[in-house]
Amino acid sequence: MSNNIKLKKGLDLPISGAAALRCERTVIGDVVAVNPCQFRGLVPRLLVKEGDHVLCGSPVLSDKKCPQILFTSPVSGTVASVVRGEKRKLLEVLIRPDGKRECVDFGKKQVENLSAQEVRDALLESGLWPSFVQRPFGLLAGVDVTPDAIFVSAFHTAPLAADVDFTCKDSLKDIQTGINAVSKLAAKGVVVSYRKGGNSPLEKLENVQKFYFEGKHPAGNVGVQIHHLRPIGKGDIVWTISPMLLAAIGRLFNTGKLDLMRKVAVCGPAAMEPAYVNTLPGVKMSELQSFIGACPENVRIISGDVLSGTSVGFTGTLGLQDDQITILNEGNEYELFGWAKPIRCSQYSTSRTYFSWLTPWKKYDMDTNLHGGERAFVVSDVYGKVLPMDLFPVFLAKACLAGNIEDMEKYGIYEVLEEDLAVCEYVCPSKINIQAIITQGIDLMIKETL
């Protein structure tokens, strides 16, 4: 197989509001949340109570099904509250930082001298085990599983995505340590994908298999890369991890302390002076008031990118896997006979319905307006034009709707997560929520096959 892979399909969304390559400040805030809801299949067990003092790295939650998997505090301080929802479902644990940054000492370790089991134990004890995402189905990595390989995407192509070279350029030593550690856990080591011609500083990494991708979004999605390198079939298991979490793993072994600090892009058409901030997963979006403005009720705040991120609102938190916060205006305005107006200079169209194709360099202040309602879900080639995967996305979605496990397997349910088909959802003329349908199918597969 060639190390250079060119993808001919895809779509780069011309949205305005890219973050300037500068770091504005460090944002922690009055409370930091540990949120179990972001992990598929997790049944959390609470290990603390309100008023308890915790250190950075102290266990806060565990997985009831696998108690070795811990979720630890990203700060030192006091447990402020335990937030529950319907049927006492555990939503989040809020921790009030004390500003002292006291850490559990896990001990510095020379990765070269560690066995795979010792690396595994260190990641479980520190709470960094949830950094891995297990495919198929996007689950927490199995404690007793040896994956075929661990895949890393060293670039993003999602709209307004954080620049990985900028966010990770000061962490190369830690990332290398992280790679040396996690490579012991996989049968065929670590596979890293780079943007062709990007001249990334991450290309200096050693002890990895290197591949180069060229193309539009979703070329940067690790799921698309896996599809072209080692397609996942029934019974196959691979793990994925991001460079920023590899850096956190490297810091754990190099310093003996848990440090989840990362550069996060605060961006989007509604963001005021988009830039980067140093922050932690679990930080409240309300701490970013200066980027949001005085009317947070008029904007949608997303942890992640506009296509596959999670709308968390003003009181929501940054996800563990996210290095981007996107702020969009809510599209509340009704446009009378909008479909009958061919000359719409402020609107973008992928189908050349408007004249945006004449100005390919232009960026658009997009909002959340769907510009229409849900229609009949018909078979067409619209998805196939933007999805660089050898799948049948329409048939896969319909199999998920029907709950037909045999057809879901036939049409590629093992190879995709919601983010991989997010671009299909954007171009869908029927306004079908493809990602929710894929979630429905994955949940059924987990229930019936695992």
Q: How many CB atoms lie within 10 A of CB 371?
A: 13
Higher-confidence residue of 373 and 301: namely 301
Torsions phi, psi for 428 (to 5 deg) = -60, 120
- Do residue 18 and residue 121 come from a single domain? yes
pLDDT score for 336: 67
- Do residue 225 and residue 320 come from a single domain? no
Residue 308, C-beta contacts closer than 8 angstroms, at least 6 positions apart? 158, 418, 419, 422, 435
- Distance separating alpha carbons of residues 269 and 327, to the nearest angstrom: 7
Residue 221 falls inside a structural domain: yes
- Do residue 143 and residue 274 come from a single domain? no
- Do residue 274 and residue 392 come from a single domain? no
E strands of 7-107, at which residues?
23-27, 32-34, 44-46, 53-54, 59-63, 66-72, 77-84, 90-97
pLDDT score for 212: 97
- Do residue 30 and residue 171 come from a single domain? yes
pLDDT tier for residue 348 given thresholds of 50, 70 and 90: confident
Confidence check: pLDDT of 355 > 80: no
Give pLDDT tens digits for 91-142. 999 999 998 889 999 999 999 999 999 999 999 999 999 999 999 999 999 9
Domain endpoint, select from 255, 288, 303: 255
Q: Please give the mean pLDDT across all residues of the chain.
A: 93
Nearest to 123 by CA among 251, 276, 231, 220: 251
Single pTM value for the model = 0.95
Give every strand in the sheet of 53-54, ordered side by side. 32-34, 90-97, 77-84, 53-54
Residue 376 falls inside a structural domain: no
- Do residue 397 and residue 318 come from a single domain? no
pLDDT tier for residue 4 given thresholds of 50, 70 and 90: very high
Find tokens 């999670």 and name the residue: 310
pLDDT score for 1: 58
Q: Give the domain extent around 420.
A: 383-449
- Do residue 198 and residue 286 come from a single domain? no
pLDDT score for 254: 97
- Do residue 240 and residue 333 come from a single domain? no
Residue 324 falls inside a structural domain: yes
Give pLDDT tens digits for 232-243. 999 999 999 999
- Do residue 430 and residue 406 come from a single domain? yes
pLDDT tier for residue 338 given thresholds of 50, 70 and 90: low
Domain endpoint, select from 343, 373, 405: 343
- Burial pattern 271-304, b for ≥16 Cβ within 10 A else e, equals bbebbbbebbbbbbbbbbeebbeeebeebbbbbb
Give pLDDT tens digits for 303-318. 999 999 999 999 999 9
- Do residue 176 and residue 323 come from a single domain? no
**Residue 113 CA to its chain's centroid (Å):** 32
- Do residue 249 and residue 268 come from a single domain? no
- Do residue 246 and residue 327 come from a single domain? no
3-state DSSP assignment of residue 63: strand
Residue 363 falls inside a structural domain: no
Confidence check: pLDDT of 298 > 70: yes
